[in-house]
């Protein structure tokens, strides 16, 4: 995975940054081969801060958390998936579906625009590498404005 460092601050207030974190299910080849997109957005601006692909395991969440460390986020809003509870400081962690509506909206946009993320589709990825590249290209173009 290649990490692209964004040089501009895009108007983010790093002193009071709050993030919503969630994971989104998809599959490669067949539904038994699950692939998860983990990502975090700034709660105020709704900009994507970081994302990773992998399984629905603590190790992948910790990779995302590592990408978020430079932002100095002081509060995390998540659903009640156990990886968050095990790996986030309880004083910084707020659980509840009502607190993740913005990132769930991002999921809807992704599922609408990238057909291989739709739950019932004939368009699916056959290889993990292509799956990650297609979704990564869309996120980099749509969210970060990078000409890819």
pTM, full prediction: 0.79
How much is the mean pLDDT over the chain?
83
Q: What is the pLDDT of residue 6?
A: 45
Express each pLDDT in 90-99 by its tens digit: 999 999 988 8
Q: Kindly state the percentage of the chain with pLDDT values over 70.
A: 83
Amino acid 121: pLDDT? 61
* pLDDT score for 120: 61
Residue boundaries of the structural domains of the chain: 18-138
Residue 21 makes CB contacts below 8 A (sequence gap 6+) with: 38, 39, 40, 64, 76, 77, 78, 84, 103
DSSP string, 23-36: EEEEEESEEEEEEE
More confident residue, 4 or 147: 147
| Domain 18-138: top CATH class | alpha beta
pLDDT band at 79 (very low <50, low <70, confident <90, very high): very high
pLDDT tens-digit readout, 19-77? 999 998 888 877 788 889 999 999 999 999 999 999 999 999 999 999 999 999 999 99
């Amino acid at each position: 995975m290649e990490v692209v460092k964004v040089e501009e601050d895009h108007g983010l207030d790093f002193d009071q940054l709050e993030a919503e974190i969630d994971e989104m299910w998809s599959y490669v080849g067949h539904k038994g081969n699950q692939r998860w997109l983990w990502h975090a957005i700034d709660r105020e601006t709704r900009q994507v801060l970081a994302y990773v692909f992998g399984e629905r395991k603590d190790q992948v969440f910790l990779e995302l958390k590592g990408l978020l460390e430079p932002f100095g986020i002081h509060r995390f809003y998540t659903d009640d998936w156990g990886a968050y509870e095990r790996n986030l400081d309880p004083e910084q962690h707020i659980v509840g579906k009502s607190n993740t509506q913005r990132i769930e909206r991002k999921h809807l946009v992704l599922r609408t625009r990238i057909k291989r993320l739709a739950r019932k589709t004939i368009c699916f990825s056959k290889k993990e590498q292509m799956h990650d590249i297609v979704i990564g290209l869309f996120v980099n173009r749509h969210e970060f404005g990078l000409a890819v």
